[in-house]
């Protein structure tokens, strides 16, 4: 999954949790989306889907739509989701995803753009929709009936600004942010290297 605010994009759990917080506490809209691919045992494609939604007061947060969970947030905050020893010991599956499926990712980008247009231009005076998911096997677009949790702390903290639930100590926040930025930088460098023309003579 990816979350975007301005030009900031991340697939990591802890940074997405921070974006989830500021969407409500600071009233800064966040557009979130992503894609999934499933295969049969023989490697053939079984199904795929992409989804997009906008985090604003009145719409459910990423925990209420099950895009995040508190356990993974705390693990990523402590750096354990990047620790091969912990992952091997816990038996967790690494979330590799499919970030380089360019044609498929373009569909997600289009869905995110549609969310942005709805957020800013309000076509038909409708505003942003509920979370949407497109299923590739049936070619159907589904409006997901996700509801706000009765005791969702993120949405209870709407418009409280600096009074929001603390993210933790400054040291842990800085360390987690540095890990996220490092992963983003490595990805961008790798992609730039692959896209650079061969200048050898």
**pLDDT value for 169:** 56
- Between the alpha carbon of residue 29 and those of residues 60, 79, 125, 201, the distances in Å are 12, 27, 18, 49
**pLDDT value for 163:** 87
Instruction: Give 161's DSSP letter.
Output: G
**pLDDT value for 132:** 96
Residues 104, 152: Cα–Cα separation, whole Å: 33
**pLDDT value for 75:** 86
**pLDDT value for 178:** 61
Residues 51, 47: Cα–Cα separation, whole Å: 14
**pLDDT value for 38:** 87
Residues 194, 182: Cα–Cα separation, whole Å: 18
**pLDDT value for 118:** 96
- Between the alpha carbon of residue 201 and those of residues 54, 161, 195, 196, 198, the distances in Å are 49, 57, 18, 15, 9
**pLDDT value for 39:** 87
Residues 89, 123: Cα–Cα separation, whole Å: 50
**pLDDT value for 143:** 93
**pLDDT value for 113:** 95
Q: Checking phi first, is residue 175 left (phi over 0); if not, alpha (psi -120 to 50) or beta?
A: alpha
Asked whether the whole model's pTM tops 0.85, one would answer: no
Which domains, ranges and CATH numbers included, belong to the chain? 2-195 (3.40.50)
Given a contact cutoff of 8 angstroms between Cβ atoms, the answer to whether 61 and 152 are in contact is: yes
**pLDDT value for 140:** 96
- Between the alpha carbon of residue 125 and those of residues 82, 121, 129, 133, 197, the distances in Å are 44, 8, 11, 22, 46
Q: Where are the beta strands (DSSP E) in 40-96?
A: 45-55
**pLDDT value for 200:** 42
**pLDDT value for 93:** 64
pLDDT (tens, 9 = 90+) of the chain, 201 residues, equals 445 445 455 668 888 999 999 999 999 999 999 888 888 999 898 998 999 999 999 999 999 999 999 988 888 888 887 777 877 777 666 554 444 455 678 899 999 999 999 999 999 999 999 999 999 999 999 999 888 878 899 999 999 998 887 776 555 555 655 655 555 444 444 444 444 444 443
Residue 90 structure tokens: 């816990």
């Amino acid at each position: 999954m990816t979350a975007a605010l301005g030009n900031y994009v991340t697939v990591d759990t802890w940074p997405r949790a921070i974006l989830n917080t500021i969407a409500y506490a600071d009233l800064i809209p966040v557009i979130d989306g992503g894609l999934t691919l499933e295969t049969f045992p023989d490697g053939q494609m079984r199904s795929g889907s992409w989804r997009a939604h906008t985090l604003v007061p009145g719409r459910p947060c990423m925990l209420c739509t099950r895009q995040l969970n508190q356990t993974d947030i705390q693990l990523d905050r402590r750096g354990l989701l990047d620790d091969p020893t912990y992952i091997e010991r816990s038996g967790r599956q690494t979330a590799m995803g499919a970030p380089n499926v360019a044609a498929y990712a373009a569909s997600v980008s289009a869905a995110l753009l549609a969310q942005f247009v709805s957020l800013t231009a309000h076509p038909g005076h409708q505003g942003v929709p509920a979370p949407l998911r497109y299923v590739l096997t049936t070619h159907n677009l589904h409006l997901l009936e996700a509801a706000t949790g009765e005791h969702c702390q993120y949405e209870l903290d709407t418009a409280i600004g600096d009074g929001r639930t603390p993210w933790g100590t400054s040291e842990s926040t800085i360390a987690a942010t540095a890990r996220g930025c490092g992963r983003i930088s490595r990805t961008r460098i790798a992609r730039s290297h692959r896209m650079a023309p061969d200048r050898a003579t």
